[in-house]
Structure formats: structure tokens, C-alpha cells
């Protein structure tokens, strides 16, 4: 049986001294990790990990992209596209990309207009190269849903979905996926969202190195956590663990195409 952590930042420096432990676990437990990037440097690092440790294995997949937090400043979109084209055989998708008004308060140069320019460039590259996308949509689900149909995107996932039920229905009606993380084990709001989701359009994730509280307090966020999420999802949706595992793996396969 296979499991999939659909969103984790394994190229983050917080994981540097844990790579061997995590990679050994992934191989032993058959947990596939989709490594997300946030800028040019993390994209390069993710690709380096892929080539060094999983060159001939699909257990480690790479998404490259520019996170809205890093849309301002010296983003060189031509350099990013050159990287994409030169390493296309090792790149599964484009992510983490999106829009987030939170970051406009932290950096006056990171305007929503600038974020949208970078976001649309990432969508263009995804369309051009027929890649799925992983979306950061905090406080911006409506804006993203307005932009996405302008591009022929193979598949899209609203990572860490935290919107309302009406937008969830809009997302699922368009055939887009949503993902749920370790917070599912202790958040009643997320329980309700999971139950409202199309079961064929959900994935699970950890979003490491983000840390979690309650039962995960103090633990290193790693792909191993997806087993607990799968189990709890099976309880909430009244499925057997085996059936839930198969559904989520099939969903992941369709998302990655």
C-alpha cells in the first residue's frame, strides 16, 4: 500500500540534518512526498535532492514555483523558466504558487498586483508544460477562482484549504482538488470541510516544516504523519483504513496524472 504527502517543503533548511532518516522512512513505508518550492533557490535545492537521492524513483516528486511571499523584489522569471526547461524531466508540477494579501502588509513592494503577475506567469508555465499546480489561497480563493479558468491547467489543488463551504463547492464543481493536513485531527472546522468535500477530490499533506499542536506538539513534521491523517479521515468519512488509503492514492495519481 502506498501513501502520499501531497505538500511538504523537504528542501527547507530545517530538514537538512534529517534527510537520511526521512528518506529511509519513505522507502520503508512507501510514502511518496511531493516536495514544494517557494522561490528559485528552493526549487534548485529540491531538484538537487531529487537527483541525488531519488533520481529513478517516484517516491520523491518535485514542484517548482514562486510563493506569493517572494513575489516582490528581484524575481527573475526568465531565469526560473530556464531552470524549468533544463530540468523538466525531474519536475512533476508547479508550486507552491498563488496570492495572499497577508504579505502585502509585511512588504510594501509585494503588492497584490505584483503577486498576480508572478502567479499568472507560473500558470502560463504550467499550461505550456502541461503540469499540475499547487495553490496557496489564503484569503484569496475568490481571486484565484477568477484567474484559473483563463489557463488550461491540467490539474489544480487548493493546498491547506481553509475557506468556506460555498467556495469548496465551487472548487470541487470545477474538478479542482483540496488537501487537508495534521490539523484535521483536532479541528472541528476541518472535520466539517472534509465531510463536505468530494471524496474523489481530496488529498492529504503535512506542509512541513510547519509545526502542529495537540497530539503533534514538539514532533518533527514529517511524511510519517500522513498515516494518522489517512486513518482519521477514514473514521470521519466512515470508510475502512484500507479503502480510504486506496481512494487517496488514486486521487493523488489522478492529480499528478
159 labeled part of a ligand binding site = yes
136 labeled part of a ligand binding site = yes
Could you give the C-alpha distances from 191 to 16, 77, 161, 184, 188, in angstroms and in order? 33, 39, 12, 6, 5
Q: What residue spans of the chain are helical by DSSP H?
A: 19-29, 40-53, 77-86, 112-128, 141-147, 165-173, 188-196, 226-236, 241-256
Q: Are 182 and 204 in contact (CB under 8 A)?
A: no
Cell of 21: 532518516
Beta-carbon-side half-sphere exposure of residue 104 (alpha carbons within 13 Å): 12
Could you give the C-alpha distances from 223 to 54, 64, 81, in angstroms and in order? 15, 19, 29
| CB-based contacts of 59, cutoff 8 Å, min separation 6 | 26, 27, 30, 31, 32, 33
| CB-based contacts of 112, cutoff 8 Å, min separation 6 | 99, 101, 104
Q: Are 90 and 62 in contact (CB under 8 A)?
A: yes
How many other C-beta atoms lie within 10 A of the C-beta of residue 254?
15
207 labeled part of a ligand binding site = yes
96 labeled part of a ligand binding site = yes
Q: How far apart are CA 240 and CA 220, in angstroms?
A: 27
- Buried residues in 4-37 as b, exposed as e (16+ CB within 10 A): bbbbbbbbbeebeeeeeebbeebeeeebbbbbbb
Binding residues for a divalent metal cation: 7, 9, 96, 136, 159, 207
Binding residues: 7, 9, 96, 136, 159, 207
Amino acid at each position: 500500500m502506498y501513501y502520499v504527502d501531497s505538500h511538504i517543503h523537504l528542501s527547507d533548511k530545517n530538514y537538512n540534518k534529517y534527510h537520511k532518516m526521512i528518506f529511509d522512512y519513505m522507502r520503508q513505508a512507501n510514502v511518496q512526498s511531493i516536495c514544494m518550492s517557494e522561490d528559485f533557490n528552493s526549487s534548485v535545492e529540491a531538484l538537487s535532492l531529487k537527483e541525488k537521492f531519488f533520481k529513478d524513483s517516484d517516491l520523491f516528486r518535485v514542484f517548482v514555483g514562486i510563493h506569493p511571499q517572494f513575489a516582490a523584489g528581484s524575481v527573475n522569471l526568465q531565469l526560473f523558466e530556464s531552470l524549468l526547461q533544463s530540468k523538466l524531466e525531474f519536475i512533476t508540477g508547479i508550486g507552491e504558487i498563488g496570492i495572499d494579501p497577508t504579505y502585502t502588509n509585511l512588504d510594501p513592494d509585494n503588492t497584490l498586483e505584483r503577486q498576480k503577475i508572478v502567479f499568472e506567469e507560473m500558470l502560463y508555465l504550467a499550461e505550456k508544460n502541461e503540469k499540475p499546480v499547487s495553490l496557496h489561497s489564503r484569503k484569496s480563493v475568490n481571486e484565484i477562482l477568477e484567474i484559473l479558468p483563463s489557463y488550461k491547467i491540467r490539474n489544480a489543488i487548493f493546498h491547506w484549504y481553509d475557506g468556506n463551504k460555498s467556495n469548496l463547492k465551487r472548487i470541487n464543481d470545477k474538478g479542482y482538488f483540496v488537501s487537508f493536513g495534521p490539523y484535521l485531527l483536532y479541528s472541528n472546522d476541518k472535520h466539517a470541510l472534509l465531510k463536505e468535500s468530494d471524496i474523489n477530490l481530496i488529498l492529504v499533506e503535512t506542509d512541513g516544516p510547519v509545526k502542529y499542536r495537540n497530539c503533534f506538539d514538539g514532533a518533527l513534521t514529517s511524511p510519517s504523519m500522513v498515516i494518522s491523517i489517512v486513518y482519521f479521515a477514514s473514521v470521519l468519512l466512515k470508510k475502512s483504513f484500507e479503502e480510504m488509503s486506496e481512494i487517496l492514492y488514486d486521487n493523488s495519481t489522478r492529480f499528478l496524472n
